[in-house]
Amino acid sequence: MTLANLPGPNFTGADLSARLNAVMTELRSARSFPIVAALLADTSMSYSGGARRVKAGDGVRTIQQNFGYQVAAPSATNHHLTTAGGVKLYALPSATGAFTVRQFGGAEGSDITQALQLAINAAAYGLAPGTQATTGEVLIDLRAGLVSGTIQVGYGISGGSAEFRRVAVRGLGRSYSNDPHHMGTRITSTVTDGPTFAISAGRFSSISDLSIVGVAFAAFQGIGAAGLAPTQAATWDAALTASGVTPGRRFAPHAAIAIDPYCGTAPAGAYPVVTLPSFITNTSQYGRQGSSMTRIERVGIYGFEVGVVQTPADHDNNGDFLTLRDCDMQYLKWAVSVGNNQARAVSGQNCTFLFCFAHLTNNQHGRQRGTVSGVWAGCGFAGFLGKLIELGDLFFGGGLRYEDCDVESLHRIGDIVGSSSNEKEVMFTNCTVNFRHNDMNVVPANVLAGPTKGQVRFIGGDIAGFPSMLSFRVDQIVLEGTTLISAEAHAKDYEKIAHNATMGGLVVPLLNHQTQTVRFEPYNLATGNPLLTRVAVNSGYRFTGRDFLCPLYAGPVLRQDDYLTRSMVGHRPYFYRSDAIGAQITGATRNQRTITFTSTRLGNINDRQQWGYMPGDIIRDAATGTVMVIRSTDTATGVIDAELQTNYVLNGGGYDLLDSAFSLTSGTWEFVCSRVYASPRPILGSTSTAAATISGILGSGATTANYGLAVGDFLFEDAERVQTFSTTGRLEIMAIATASGTITMNGVANRTLTDWMFDWWIKAPPANSATR
């Protein structure tokens, strides 16, 4: 017997009538359907009568998924679902308080946009929206689904009941490396004009355990990880355009997840208008509240202009304490972008970033002054990364820190263009940074640039994968205990000299004498072989004689052979010269990696030795940070050949410049002598005016062969030291006689000194090298 066969509940027997009425009430209030699709397709249930007459408050259930529903009143406007027969339903949360996408009609592999939005609305705003809270949990209980419009995770609109909410959207697990053959929830997004998920006014809201694949995934895969293409922002923009995305929209970027995209007043170029549910009484598109404590956990993001963007709106409003944890982010132009200065503590732990143009930016979206103070810890960067950071003002918040991160296949650390006097520090602690420039065949002019007044600090860790020189173009760069590992073994003497002088390749603005404590492997210039062990350049550094030279950035160091007294020789004397192209530098040309020019400085033997115009000496272009090392100098004609160590790209069979701002017709180049060394033991001697000798040499220096010097070397005298021979322009050693305790110079002294300490000397340059 079915309900249609049951007679109406009108009986003369009171007991029978009561029993039959109870049975019919129970049958009507507990409707069962095999699956959700059958429920939604049902036409048998009705408010007005028929086989399955229902009223508000009746219960309905699906058998296979065990989903529960409650019949809404016929006049309801806040219901979740409607059957084909016109019965309105509220979805009921599970015993744990969660809603699921299948519960709202979502099916495997189908477009789940509406079902997911309905589930989130139910989780955020309750059974009867605005009156009954839930746990805020939403489970995407599917392996695959399509999203064709922006999913609103909360509305955050003032008025009504739609302001602050906690919503937790969770999948079945992140599909490993976006491989659909692995278990997990994989959402394919066809959205091109907005974010796939928009979180507004969330409090501890989260998205977890799923993968989101955007429309640019295939195009970004086609860029490749080698050569010039992936290093250029225009390449990524072209791929976005080919995917139907308009790149570079400041207030409306194509993103997987946007935090607070609708704050403030709608700007020009805003996101498309959102259709709001009927229970939202304030229909303003913008002016929404801000979020806090958002969590993105175990999420894979692939193929978007931006992976996660915080406040891409014209407003500074919270969005703070955003955390990414255990996420996998691949094929993105910007992995993480922060737009407003109230963000505070944007951080990530144990995330991986592969094939991205940049990891973190704060000057591309929204107010373009995002606060990025926070810690990225235990993260991995691989495949290809154009730059770690693209930052503007760092005035707001605390500093930015990378801790215990592993970075591979990096093109550049990036750019910091903030100019505030209160710029905060960027710190890398115990990080491994591997550029792999040779693998990519592209060597940038510099690895970090910008006029930032804040300090960039590396503490411990390794920096590797650069061919020979690592150029920084920021004012304050500090390395503390960091190991430098250049990728190329040096065959030429001039290369080895430059390597030793720069502590393995470190070059900073004005070749600045700020002390750096670095570990590197120097060459023994006497044998031509590397030392085969990495040594720390610190207060105990003693490889300072002419066979190793004293690094540019060394602090007070020891004399190489002074084992008994272990006397400090002090700081390496430092002096550089900045020459103008078109004045002291003329006729500059480029052939492959060779820069040839004429210098007006070579007429004076002191100038060309002390100021850095001989083989092995270093040249740095002030505008781009491009580094060159001199390989040959014609002292008769003034012609110098220098080899580019940075700023080149292998193009077919030859080399081109990577940064065209490097000019051969204007600007300035900084020159510095690489060949400075300390006498291995103290040399105390005396000079007499108009005499060409340093005589009466005393102390332990007398027991060292030739005092650790060589004929053809030069006494180092800069503007900060007492000038003994410089007025004659003759500082070259012509003879050494340890028996008589004299050193004969190629010129006479200009003053009388007694028992004067002659600490610093310049090694004679190597022979000119005809080729690189």
Could you give the CA distance from residue 590 to residue 113 in angstroms, rounded to a whole number?
Answer: 58
Average pLDDT, the chain: 88
Domain ranges of the chain: 3-92, 108-398, 576-674, 677-762
Other C-beta atoms lying within 10 Å of the C-beta of residue 217 = 19
Those residues with Cβ within 8 angstroms of residue 640's Cβ, 6 or more apart along the chain or in another chain: 596, 597, 598, 599, 602, 613, 630, 632, 633, 634
Element (H, E) at 220: helix 217-221
The pTM score is 0.91
State yes or no: pLDDT of 103 exceeds 90: yes
The more confident residue out of 635 and 603 is 635
Could you give the CA distance from residue 578 to residue 490 in angstroms, rounded to a whole number?
Answer: 27
Those residues with Cβ within 8 angstroms of residue 110's Cβ, 6 or more apart along the chain or in another chain: 145, 146
pLDDT at 4: 46
State yes or no: pLDDT of 419 exceeds 60: yes
Q: Tokens 């006494």 map to which residue?
A: 715
Average pLDDT in the 25-39 region? Answer: 76
Contact 46, 86 (CB under 8 A): yes
Could you give the CA distance from residue 255 to residue 309 in angstroms, rounded to a whole number?
Answer: 7
Lowest-confidence segment of 215-219, 370-374, 567-571, 595-599 by average pLDDT: 567-571
**Of the segments 287-296, 658-667, 700-709, which one has the largest average pLDDT value?**
658-667
Could you give the CA distance from residue 58 to residue 90 in angstroms, rounded to a whole number?
Answer: 10
Contact 365, 312 (CB under 8 A): yes
**Of the segments 125-134, 312-321, 468-477, which one has the largest average pLDDT value?**
468-477
Could you give the CA distance from residue 90 to residue 80 in angstroms, rounded to a whole number?
Answer: 5
Could you give the CA distance from residue 378 to residue 586 in angstroms, rounded to a whole number?
Answer: 50
pLDDT at 131: 43
Lowest-confidence segment of 37-41, 370-374, 416-420, 485-489 by average pLDDT: 416-420
Angle, alpha carbons 413-390-261 (nearest 5°): 145
Contact 716, 690 (CB under 8 A): no
pLDDT at 12: 55
- Per DSSP, what are the bridge partners of residue 643? 594, 629
State yes or no: pLDDT of 130 exceeds 50: no
Could you give the CA distance from residue 692 to residue 702 in angstroms, rounded to a whole number?
Answer: 19
Q: Tell me the two tokens of residue 61.
A: 């259930």
pLDDT at 507: 93
pLDDT at 126: 75
Those residues with Cβ within 8 angstroms of residue 15's Cβ, 6 or more apart along the chain or in another chain: none
State yes or no: pLDDT of 365 exceeds 90: yes
State yes or no: pLDDT of 2 exceeds 50: no
Average pLDDT in the 352-361 region? Answer: 96
pLDDT at 428: 97
- Per DSSP, what are the bridge partners of residue 760? 678
Could you give the CA distance from residue 446 to residue 622 in angstroms, rounded to a whole number?
Answer: 11
pLDDT at 17: 59
Contact 360, 389 (CB under 8 A): yes
Element (H, E) at 22: helix 14-29
State yes or no: pLDDT of 641 exceeds 60: yes
pLDDT at 731: 86
500 falls in which pLDDT band (50, 70, 90)?
A: very high
State yes or no: pLDDT of 699 exceeds 70: no
pLDDT at 104: 95
pLDDT at 415: 94
Lowest-confidence segment of 108-112, 210-214, 264-268, 535-539 by average pLDDT: 535-539
pLDDT tens track for 49-58: 777 899 999 9
Lowest-confidence segment of 177-191, 446-460, 602-616, 734-748 by average pLDDT: 177-191
- Per DSSP, what are the bridge partners of residue 577? 671
Average pLDDT in the 333-342 region? Answer: 93
Could you give the CA distance from residue 88 to residue 675 in angstroms, rounded to a whole number?
Answer: 86
Contact 117, 154 (CB under 8 A): no
pLDDT at 16: 57
To the nearest whole percent, how much of the chain has pLDDT over 70?
A: 89
Measured CA distances, 305 to 190, 228, 243 (Å): 13, 20, 11
Q: Please, what is the end-to-end C-alpha distance for the chain in angstroms? A: 98
Could you give the CA distance from residue 571 to residue 380 in angstroms, rounded to a whole number?
Answer: 38
Measured CA distances, 697 to 61, 731, 734 (Å): 103, 17, 16
451 falls in which pLDDT band (50, 70, 90)?
A: confident
Contact 640, 597 (CB under 8 A): yes
pLDDT at 156: 83
| Burial zone of 755 (CB within 10 Å; 0-12 exposed, 13-18 middle, 19+ buried) | exposed
> 506-507 and 186-189 as β-strands: parallel, antiparallel, unpaired?
unpaired
Q: What is the DSSP string of 460-501?
A: SSEEE--SS-EEEESS-EEEEEEEEE-SSPP-SHHHHHHHHH
Q: 3-class SS at 631? A: strand
pLDDT at 127: 59
State yes or no: pLDDT of 28 exceeds 90: no
705 falls in which pLDDT band (50, 70, 90)?
A: confident
pLDDT at 180: 59
Contact 445, 659 (CB under 8 A): yes
Contact 627, 646 (CB under 8 A): yes
pLDDT at 576: 73
Could you give the CA distance from residue 525 to residue 499 in angstroms, rounded to a whole number?
Answer: 11
pLDDT at 614: 96
May I ask the CATH class of domain 576-674? mainly beta
Q: Where are the alpha helices (DSSP H) in 35-178?
A: 36-41, 113-125
pLDDT at 222: 94
pLDDT at 3: 44
Q: What is the DSSP string of 298-349?
A: EEEEEEEEEEEEE--SSS----BS-EEES-EEEEEEEEEEE--TT----EEE
State yes or no: pLDDT of 530 exceeds 50: yes
Average pLDDT in the 210-234 region? Answer: 92
Other C-beta atoms lying within 10 Å of the C-beta of residue 539 = 13
The more confident residue out of 510 and 713 is 713
